[in-house]
């Protein structure tokens, strides 16, 4: 709540410094800034988990440390996709439930407190009946920016639903269920808890349309990176076609993934651990003899190779396949998007033709009305003896 108020003040300050020429330009500028502040605030954790968590930690024996002291956080052994899925589940379930509770609970508490103060002011006249206009006046006033908060909430939900849908496919369903409930909560709030808002005309939804377009483009790029980098889809595919039992056969099935886990793990010599990273036990209580080697998730050479712990050829094959998948996936989705936009335009052809004909008829009527006015003025001047030979028409 505090950050939301801070973002609002900063957005107002920056917008006023720009000095927009019109009210619509001011609203568009303020809306864009508020959206960017909220978007970064709410999506920073998901972007961190998806693309940065565990990416720059180093490897055993050469861990990267913050201020040469603390190791960086790593993903769960099952992968970062599980962490991202859990984060999205918390946002789409708990956060939306809390937002609905606050949207309805806050005006309910405020109105109860207002009624309590009014009763205290009248003292013994507890059963006094107020006229309807006074009851309406005691309700909560609507936000100074109208439906801005409602639009912002829906746009942010659209972002959560689309940007990481590859990691949490249940997001659209949860968003649908939340919106069905919120429709009734908003109806109750507008009718019983808020003062009647003043109606105002608007040509369209303004800059929100451009923001939706931007989120759509970002969601395609983000999902491509989630599938290629965060998940194990590409490494499994490369193993099946290049390194597995079916390598070179042009097929990929369950039998082709035999040995994948072993191929995705690298070997590390325990004696190469840093002094502060050495394990507390040598593992003799499990195997009877001290362990000399351990395994970790990465594509690195063995400690006995010419370049110990260097990247293997499989690492570069996986990296190339990931980049190729991102490029192909993005272009394919964008081509399908533009094809659908071409086949299903925003305005049907017959409606667009009717609008053009209506515009033409309006222009023709205005021309005829102007022509009739000029002819009438000409006749009146002729009657008064003030006609001029160079007049039109």
Q: How confident is the model at residue 224 (pLDDT cuts 50, 70, 90)?
A: very high
Q: Which residue has the higher pLDDT, 225 or 277?
A: 225
Q: Using an 8 Å Cβ cutoff, are 65 and 72 in contact?
A: yes
Residue where the block lists tokens 């806050």: 106
SS3 131: coil
pLDDT in tens, 7-55: 888 988 998 898 888 888 888 888 899 899 888 888 888 898 888 887 8
**Alpha helix stretches (DSSP H) within the chain:** 2-18, 23-51, 80-90, 96-122, 132-137, 148-163, 171-188, 208-225, 233-238, 260-263, 284-287, 313-343, 349-383
- For residue 1, pLDDT over 70 is answered with no
Cβ neighbours of 377 (radius 10 Å): 11
Q: Using an 8 Å Cβ cutoff, are 264 and 297 in contact?
A: yes
Helices 23-51 and 2-18: crossing angle in degrees, nearest 10, is 130
Residue 81, judged by CB atoms within 10 A of its CB (0-12, 13-18, 19+), counts as buried
Q: Is the peptide bond before 393 cis (omega within 30 degrees of 0)?
A: yes
Q: Using an 8 Å Cβ cutoff, are 171 and 165 in contact?
A: yes
Nearest to 152 by CA among 67, 27, 53: 27
Q: Which tokens go with 393?
A: 């028409």
Q: Is the peptide bond before 280 cis (omega within 30 degrees of 0)?
A: no
Q: Using an 8 Å Cβ cutoff, are 43 and 163 in contact?
A: yes
State the distance between the two ends of the chain, measured CA to CA, in whole angstroms.
Answer: 68
Q: Using an 8 Å Cβ cutoff, are 142 and 194 in contact?
A: yes
Supply the pLDDT for residue 387. Answer: 46
* Least reliable range by pLDDT among 252-256, 321-325, 338-342, 368-372: 252-256
**DSSP conformation class of 276:** G
Q: Looking at the chain, how many residues does it have?
A: 393
Q: Give me the phi and psi of 302, to 5 degrees please.
A: -75, 165
pLDDT in tens, 311-333: 888 889 999 999 999 999 999 99
Supply the pLDDT for residue 393. Answer: 47
Q: Which tokens go with 83?
A: 């962490």
Q: How far apart are CA 27 and CA 25, in angstroms?
A: 5
Q: How far apart are CA 214 and CA 267, in angstroms?
A: 44
Cβ neighbours of 182 (radius 10 Å): 20
Q: How far is CA 260 from CA 80, 94, 238, 244, 300, in A?
A: 18, 37, 10, 7, 15
pLDDT in tens, 271-315: 878 777 777 776 677 777 778 888 888 888 888 888 888 888 888
Q: How far apart are CA 246 and CA 237, in angstroms?
A: 11
Q: Give me the phi and psi of 278, to 5 degrees please.
A: -65, 140
Q: How far is CA 196 from CA 107, 108, 136, 181, in A?
A: 14, 16, 8, 22
Supply the pLDDT for residue 128. Answer: 65
Q: pTM for this one?
A: 0.78
Q: How far apart are CA 160 and CA 154, in angstroms?
A: 10
């Amino acid at each position: 709540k505090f950050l939301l108020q801070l973002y609002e003040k900063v957005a107002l300050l920056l917008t006023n410094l720009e000095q927009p020429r019109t009210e619509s330009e001011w609203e568009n500028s303020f809306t864009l800034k508020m959206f960017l502040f909220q978007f970064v605030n709410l999506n920073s954790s998901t972007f961190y988990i998806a693309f940065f968590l565990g990416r720059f930690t180093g490897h055993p024996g050469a861990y990267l440390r913050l201020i040469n002291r603390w190791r960086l956080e790593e993903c769960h052994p099952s992968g970062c996709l599980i962490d991202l899925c859990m984060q999205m589940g918390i946002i789409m379930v708990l956060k939306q439930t809390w937002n609905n509770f606050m949207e309805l609970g806050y005006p309910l508490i405020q109105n109860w407190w207002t009624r309590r103060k009014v009763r205290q002011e009248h003292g013994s006249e507890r059963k006094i009946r107020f006229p309807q206009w006074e009851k309406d006046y005691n309700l909560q006033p609507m936000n100074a920016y109208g439906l801005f908060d409602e639009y912002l909430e829906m746009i942010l939900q659209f972002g959560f639903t689309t940007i990481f849908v590859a990691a949490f496919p249940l997001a659209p369903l949860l968003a649908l269920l939340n919106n069905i409930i919120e429709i009734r909560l908003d109806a109750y709030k507008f009718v019983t808890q808020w003062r009647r808002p003043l109606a105002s005309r608007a040509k369209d939804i303004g800059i929100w349309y451009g923001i939706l377009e931007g989120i759509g483009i970002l969601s395609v790029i983000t999902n491509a990176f989630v599938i290629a980098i965060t998940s194990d889809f590409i490494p499994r595919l490369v193993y099946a076609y290049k390194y597995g039992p079916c390598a070179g056969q042009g097929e990929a099935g369950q039998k082709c993934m035999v040995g994948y886990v072993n191929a995705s793990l690298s070997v590390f010599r325990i004696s190469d651990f840093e002094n502060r990273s050495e394990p507390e036990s040598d593992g003799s209580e499990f195997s009877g003899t001290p362990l000399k080697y351990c395994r970790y998730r990465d594509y690195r050479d063995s400690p006995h190779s010419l370049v110990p712990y260097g990247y293997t050829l499989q690492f570069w094959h996986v990296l190339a396949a990931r980049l190729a998948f991102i490029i192909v996936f993005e272009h394919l989705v964008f081509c399908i998007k533009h094809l659908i936009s071409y086949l299903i335009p925003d305005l049907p052809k017959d409606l667009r033709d009717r609008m053009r004909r209506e515009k033409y008829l309006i222009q023709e009527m205005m021309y005829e009305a102007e022509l009739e006015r000029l002819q009438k003025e000409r006749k009146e001047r002729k009657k008064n003896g003030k006609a001029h030979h160079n007049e039109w028409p």
